[in-house]
């Protein structure tokens, strides 16, 4: 009989360590680097990888496609192009993750959610992260990966990162951007949970920076007035 894991005595990153298997990740990364479908992969031939994407393959290969080590050691820094880092992480890796952020990944990728939204001048030190550089998209992905609960994601958003209105709508069972859905036809996998939507909003009203608290207050007024 399978026993429940007692997380109180486990490694603090136990969820991250088990979020995706190496074989599954290897196949996904290879498909990305060769622009092929995963089901068409018969073998791994590095000569078939597009030259400009070889650094991506090598970065993941460094730790044998162990995504936990890849993120912990920031192997993504071996991929010099920031846009390419973000693309492979979002389009390939985060879609596979059995983590809180993983459940938002498809709708984020399709444009219904946005965890990147922030002030252009927001620095790592402003939100309690190491360093004094302006926050990059990769920085956000790194910290979202290490969130073991949705409340930890909320904590990041409380610092001024991410679009709170779209996530509130998502929790409350509404398509965050109906115009986008009408234009693209892409499904939105929102979660209808008014209790969680309220908990999210209450958290932002009490545990945030002033600017986020003001946004949350305005959001609550819109909800109370049925104008959201």
Band of the pLDDT at 3, cuts 50, 70, 90? Answer: very low
- Cα–Cα dist 62/74, whole Å: 11
pLDDT band at 11 (very low <50, low <70, confident <90, very high): confident
The answer to which of 5-9, 39-43, 220-224 has the lowest mean pLDDT is 5-9
How many CA within 13 A on the CB side of residue 199? 9
Handedness of CA 72, 76, 161, 126 (dihedral sign): positive
Alpha carbon distance 158, 205 (integer Å): 9
What was the pLDDT predicted at 9?
56
Q: Is the pLDDT of residue 199 over 80?
A: yes
Share of the chain above pLDDT 70, in %: 96
0.75 exceeded by the pTM? yes
pLDDT tens for 154-166 read 999 999 999 999 9
What angle is formed at CA 140 by the lines to CA 139 and CA 143, rounded to 5 degrees? 90
> pLDDT value at position 207?
79
What is the reported pLDDT for 41?
Answer: 94
3-class secondary-structure state, position 123 = strand
CA distance 155 to 151: 6
Distance CA 211, CA 209 (A): 6
Q: Using alpha carbons only, what angle is made at residue 13 by residues 11 and 19, rounded to the nearest 5 degrees?
A: 120
* pLDDT higher than threshold 90 for residue 5: no
26 and 65 Cβ atoms separated by less than 8 Å: yes
pLDDT, residue 1, reads: 42
Torsion over CA: 145, 74, 67, 39 (sign) = positive
Q: Which of 90-104, 148-162, 204-218 has the lowest mean pLDDT?
A: 204-218
Q: What is the mean pLDDT of residues 28-56?
A: 96
Reading the block at residue 16, the tokens are 């991250």
Tell me the average pLDDT of the chain: 93
């Amino acid at each position: 009989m399978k026993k429940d894991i007692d997380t109180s005595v486990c490694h603090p990153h136990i969820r991250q360590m088990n979020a995706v298997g190496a074989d599954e990740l290897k196949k996904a990364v290879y498909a990305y680097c060769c622009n092929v479908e995963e089901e068409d992969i018969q073998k791994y031939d590095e000569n078939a990888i597009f030259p400009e994407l070889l650094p991506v393959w090598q970065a993941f290969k460094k730790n044998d496609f162990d995504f936990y080590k890849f993120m912990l050691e920031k192997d993504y820094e071996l991929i010099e192009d920031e846009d390419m880092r973000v693309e492979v992480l979002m389009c390939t890796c985060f879609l596979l993750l059995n983590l809180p952020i993983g459940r938002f990944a498809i709708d984020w990728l399709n444009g219904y959610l946005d965890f990147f939204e922030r002030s252009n001048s927001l620095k790592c030190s402003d939100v309690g992260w190491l360093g004094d550089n302006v926050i990059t998209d990769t920085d956000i992905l790194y910290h979202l990966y290490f969130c073991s609960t949705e409340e930890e994601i909320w904590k990041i958003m409380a610092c001024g990162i991410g679009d709170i209105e779209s996530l509130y709508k998502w929790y409350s069972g509404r398509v965050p951007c109906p115009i986008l859905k009408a234009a693209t036809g892409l499904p939105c996998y929102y979660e209808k949970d008014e209790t969680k939507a309220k908990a999210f909003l209450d958290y932002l009203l009490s545990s945030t920076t002033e600017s986020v608290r003001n946004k949350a207050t305005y959001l609550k007024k819109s909800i109370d007035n049925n104008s959201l």
